[in-house]
């Protein structure tokens, strides 16, 4: 059995849900406190044992490449000033086996994935979508790899979503339970309306697939929204070889949506050593004001003043 070594991260979307911020900047570079969302995804891949990562980009995505490149001038500057911790943060994102390919036209997720055919070759691989940050004791991608090692077949991560939200996701129709949190699937359906959705189990952006998916994608007709849909290709694959659905039980942070992004920023901020105490105090004060009904007509309470750190001023 071949080891799962490769991951693809599609990152060619326009990010229209975050306009105007994404007019000239990739949505993948929007930070959660201080870390771009795509870095969380790359870190999940590495923590799962992935060795090579292909990021599929499009126009205006150069900052992603620069982010994972070295920056000798900045590194030298930090070194000269003795800022070892910052230097470490900057160096963490360089020297990874990252590759880039372009999707020339936005013809759908299936089409984006097809650009990775030569990179993937003939082994199993994972696809990681950037709109969700997943947190669990074992990284979700690693869970899928373990699933592959047991089943020798494709494993797709799914999670229960509110029924009224099925039209935002690929949804599965269950066939049978195949193990602990593991299902045989009768059908994979892209974004069904709630009255047509056969379950509430949604595809959540982590896929482990066998390379046969590429032959299917190459001949696939456009589906929902006139786009080449990965979900449709998976449904066809499932007819010739098993594609299991693996239910994710950890925390999913949807950073592709404004409200999800705000929630994630707060959650991550509450764990961040530099801001957690002040943020907690701010939220407690804000909650008090909200309870007393004072916030409607007033500005939210003043955030506690940041600690003064003159040493960083040049670098901000």
The residue (of 114 and 279) whose beta carbon lies closer to ligand G1P is 114
Q: Are the beta carbons of 210 and 124 closer than 8 angstroms? A: yes
Q: Which stretch binds ligand G1P (CB under 6 A): 95-103, 136-144, 202-210, 288-296?
A: 202-210
Q: Under rule CB under 6 A, which residues in 96-125 are in contact with ligand G1P?
A: 109
For ligand G1P, the binding residue among 202, 213, 216, 228 (CB under 6 A) is 202
Exactly one of 131, 200, 232, 235 binds ligand G1P (CB under 6 A); which one? 131
Contact string 69-98 vs ligand G1P (x = CB under 6 A) = ------------------------------
**Residue 256 φ/ψ, nearest 5 degrees:** -90, 5
Cβ closest to ligand G1P, residue 93 vs residue 231? 231
- Interface with ligand G1P (CB under 6 A), residue total 12
Question: Residue 97 gets which letter from DSSP?
Answer: -
User: For ligand G1P, which is the closer residue by CB, 98 or 204?
Assistant: 204
CA distances 94 to 52, 56, 71, 139, Å, are: 13, 18, 9, 21
Alpha carbons 58 and 81: distance in angstroms, whole number: 37
Residue appearing with tokens 């379950």: 199
Residue with token string 């940050």? 133
Asked if residue 253 lies in contact with residue 260, where contact means CB atoms within 8 angstroms, the answer is: yes
Count CB atoms within 10 A of the CB of residue 278.
15
Tokens of 221: 């007709």
Based on CB atoms, which residue is closest to ligand G1P, 245 or 279?
245
Give buried/exposed letters for 37-49 (b at 16+ CB in 10 A, else e): bbbbbbbbbeebe
- Which residue from 103, 143, 154, 231 is in contact with ligand G1P, where contact means CB under 6 A? 231
Of 59-67, 82-90, 95-103, 201-209, the segment contacting ligand G1P by CB under 6 A is: 201-209
d(C-alpha 217, C-alpha 227), whole Å = 12
**CB of 36 or CB of 232, closer to ligand G1P:** 232
Q: Give whichever of 127 and 145 is closer to ligand G1P, judged by the CB atom.
A: 127
CB 75, CB 50: distance < 8 Å: no
Site for ligand G1P in 157-186 (CB under 6 A): 169-170
Write the CB contacts of 256 (distance below 8 Å, at least 6 apart in sequence).
17, 27, 130, 131, 132
Nearer to ligand G1P, 168 or 184 (CB): 168
Minimum gap (Å) between residue 165 Cβ and ligand G1P: 10
Binding site for ligand G1P (CB under 6 A): 109, 129, 131, 169-170, 190, 202-205, 230-231
């Amino acid at each position: 059995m071949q080891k799962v070594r490769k991951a693809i991260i599609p990152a060619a979307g326009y990010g229209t849900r975050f306009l105007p911020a994404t007019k000239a900047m990739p949505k993948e570079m929007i930070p959660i406190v201080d870390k771009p969302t795509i870095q969380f995804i790359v870190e999940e891949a590495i923590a799962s044992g992935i060795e090579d990562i292909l990021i599929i980009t499009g126009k205006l995505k150069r900052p992603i490449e620069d982010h994972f490149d070295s920056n000798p001038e900045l590194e030298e500057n930090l070194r000269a000033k003795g800022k070892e911790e910052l230097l470490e943060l900057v160096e963490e994102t360089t020297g990874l086996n990252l590759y880039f390919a372009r999707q020339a036209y936005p013809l759908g997720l299936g089409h984006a994935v097809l650009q990775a055919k030569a990179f993937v070759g003939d082994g199993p691989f994972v696809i990681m979508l950037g709109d969700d940050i997943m947190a669990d004791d074992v990284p979700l991608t690693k869970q899928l790899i373990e699933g592959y090692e047991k089943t020798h077949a494709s494993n797709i991560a799914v999670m229960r979503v509110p029924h009224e939200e099925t039209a935002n996701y690929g949804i599965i129709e269950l066939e049978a339970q195949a193990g602990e949190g593991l299902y045989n699937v009768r059908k994979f359906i892209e974004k069904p309306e709630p009255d047509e959705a056969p379950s509430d189990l949604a595809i959540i952006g982590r896929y482990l697939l066998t390379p046969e998916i590429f032959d299917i994608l190459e001949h696939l007709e456009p589906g929902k929204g006139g786009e080449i849909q990965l979900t449709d290709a998976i449904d066809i694959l499932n007819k010739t070889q098993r594609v299991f659905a693996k239910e994710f039980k950890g925390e999913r942070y949807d950073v592709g949506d404004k409200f999800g992004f705000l929630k994630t920023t707060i959650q991550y901020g509450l764990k961040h050593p530099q801001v957690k105490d002040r943020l907690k105090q701010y939220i407690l004060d804000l909650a008090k004001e909200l309870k007393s009904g004072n916030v409607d007509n007033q500005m939210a309470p003043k955030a506690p003043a940041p600690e003064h750190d003159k040493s960083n001023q040049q670098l901000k």
